[in-house]
Amino acid sequence: SGLTLLGYDGPAGARAGDTITLTTYWAFRSVPVNEQGVGHSLFNHLLDAAGDKVAQRDGFGLPERYWRGGRVLAQWFELPLPADMPVGDCTLLTGMYRLSDLTRNRVLDQGGMVEDAIPLGSIHVGPLTTP
């Protein structure tokens, strides 16, 4: 779709029941004209050690009609964590999908590998804090 992930900001750790804030930074490169007429959404998934999705937040803060090469988008997400989620290291993923058919956009990394999500790193989730 002509987007490049520049980086992200997020916590290294959290507790079950917390809401974490994640910011992703995207650069619009050579955006194909046909992509400007297709609805998209970014997704952010938190996977536990077994690879099960324990939290998710989707959305996109810039309509496709404004996608132009040279623009940079900082996209904020609040990701609520379930109070009963497993304790341990979780993997944070991000990516994009088409709203029309929910297919994920393919990701080409610098090594030439093609995927459908970008791993951002690990977040250690500790137990729920009780008063």
21-47: per-residue pLDDT in tens?
A: 999 999 998 888 877 788 999 999 999
Mean local confidence (pLDDT), 52-68: 89
Q: Where are the beta strands (DSSP E) in 1-131?
A: 3-9, 13-15, 19-28, 40-47, 53-59, 72-80, 88-98, 107-108, 114-115, 118-126
- Percent of the chain past pLDDT 70, that is, above it, reads 94
Which helix or strand (DSSP H or E) is residue 61 part of?
none
Q: Give, as one character, the DSSP assignment of residue 12.
A: S
**pLDDT over threshold 80, residue 113:** no
Instruction: Confirm if 82 and 55 have CB atoms less than 8 A apart.
Output: yes
**Per the confidence metrics, is the pTM higher than 0.95?**
no
Phi, psi (deg, nearest 5) at residue 34: -65, -20
Q: What is the pLDDT of residue 66?
A: 85
What DSSP letter does each residue of 90-124 carry, written as one string? Answer: EEEEEEEEETTT-PBPPEE-TTS-EESSEEEEEEE
Burial per residue of 111-124, b for 16 or more beta-carbon CB atoms within 10 angstroms, e otherwise? eeeeeebeebeebe
In this structure, the strands spanning 13-15 and 118-126 are parallel
